[in-house]
Amino acid sequence: MNPMIWKELQQRMRERRAWLLPTIYLLVLGAIVTFVYYTTVVEESRYSQHELRGAEIGVAIFFGTVYTQLGLLLLIAPALSAGSITIEKEQRTLSGLLTSLLTLLEIWWGKFVASLLLMVLLLVVSLPVLSLGLAMGGFGVREMTMAAITTLIIVASMNAVGLYCSSLFQRSIYATTISYAITIALVVITAVAAAMWQASHRGLGQDEFAHFKVWLYPNPFFFLTLAFAPQSKLFPDWYISAGIFVLIGVSVGVLTLLQLRRAGEKV
């Protein structure tokens, strides 16, 4: 194993947030599932004329869980990754790290994987909540798998963005702030741009709708929504959105390595 991964994991698992974060994460997911169940069962049974089926409850729980899960991970990703390199600068250990036998790629990869594994842990601990919806029906293993793959691509990309911000700044607070700003831009600005474009092009035809989706391809929640399309309709939209997030991750990864190289030349 890359010694950087082992060091980072040991350091992170000794912190208080190693157990506090999953606890809060599960409490929020549990609250969302309870709220979704209440609104689906109680409210629908009160106002709807037809008998509510278990599959409808299962689908509501599934979508409530996966979208809440993505929102939570987007909030957590900058906090886990944006301080990975700046903390070395603040503790004045970066120069020793850069002059060690580890290559720049091994250093970046260790930081990246250690942060990502903690988010994978959060994905794993949410499986019992998703299993509750799976037992009720309405969706299957394919939908769960596509949701997990899509969410993992998104958080990996945001993790790489956080590491790049961490390599740019000297203080963790600045790197974390910019990371959050980039995340908000991908979520909010893309949605606002798409809404404004739609408002200026009423009555969307097929060509106009294709241009409308261009604004939403970098949006994490739109990318997750594309994952639930039938398998025959995943291409090209899901692949385009996946390519954008992979490109973002690879690009900022290369830029991070360049920043580390510049910092190593100054040592």
How confident is the model over 123-164, as pLDDT tens digits? Answer: 998 888 888 888 787 788 899 999 999 999 999 999 999 999
pLDDT reported for residue 46:
64
pLDDT reported for residue 208:
58
pLDDT reported for residue 264:
86
- SS3 for the chain, per residue? CCHHHHHHHHHHHCCCHHHHHHHHHHHHHHHHHHHHHHHHHHHHHHHCCCCCCHHHHHHHHHHHHHHHHHHHHHHHHHHHHCCCCHHHHHCCCHHHHHCCCCCHHHHHHHHHHHHHHHHHHHHHHCHHHHHHHHHHCCCCHHHHHHHHHHHHHHHHHHHHHHHHHHHHCCCHHHHHHHHHHHHHHHHHHHHHHHHHHHHHCCCCCHHHHHHHHHHHCCCHHHHHHHCCCCHHHCCCHHHHHHHHHHHHHHHHHHHHHHHHHHHHHHC
Binned at pLDDT 50, 70 and 90, residue 75 comes out as: very high
Averaged pLDDT of the chain = 88
pLDDT reported for residue 103:
93
d(Cα 26, Cα 8) in Å, to the nearest integer? 24
How confident is the model over 28-62, as pLDDT tens digits? Answer: 998 998 898 888 877 666 665 556 666 788 888 89
Query: For helices 54-81 and 17-37, what crossing angle results, to 10°?
Result: 150
User: Tokens at residue 130, please?
Assistant: 């998703």
Burial of 174 (0-12, 13-18, 19+ CB in 10 A): middle
pLDDT reported for residue 56:
80
What is the average per-residue pLDDT within 198-216?
Answer: 69
Least Cα distance to 163 among 181, 150, 176, 149 occurs for 176
Contact call for residues 252 and 160 (beta carbons, < 8 A)? yes
This prediction has a pTM of 0.93
**φ and ψ at residue 205, rounded to 5 degrees:** -85, -175
d(Cα 215, Cα 209) in Å, to the nearest integer? 10
How confident is the model over 103-133, as pLDDT tens digits? Answer: 999 999 999 999 999 999 999 988 888 888 8
How confident is the model over 233-255, as pLDDT tens digits? Answer: 999 999 999 999 999 999 999 99
What is the average per-residue pLDDT within 185-211?
Answer: 77
Burial of 265 (0-12, 13-18, 19+ CB in 10 A): exposed
Polymer length of the chain: 267
What is the average per-residue pLDDT within 204-215?
Answer: 67
d(Cα 66, Cα 266) in Å, to the nearest integer? 45
Least Cα distance to 224 among 40, 57, 64, 18 occurs for 64
pLDDT reported for residue 209:
58
Q: What percent of the chain has pLDDT over 90?
A: 59
Q: Which residues of 220-244 are buried (b: 16+ CB within 10 A; e: fewer)?
A: bbbbbbbbbeeeeeeeebbeebbeb
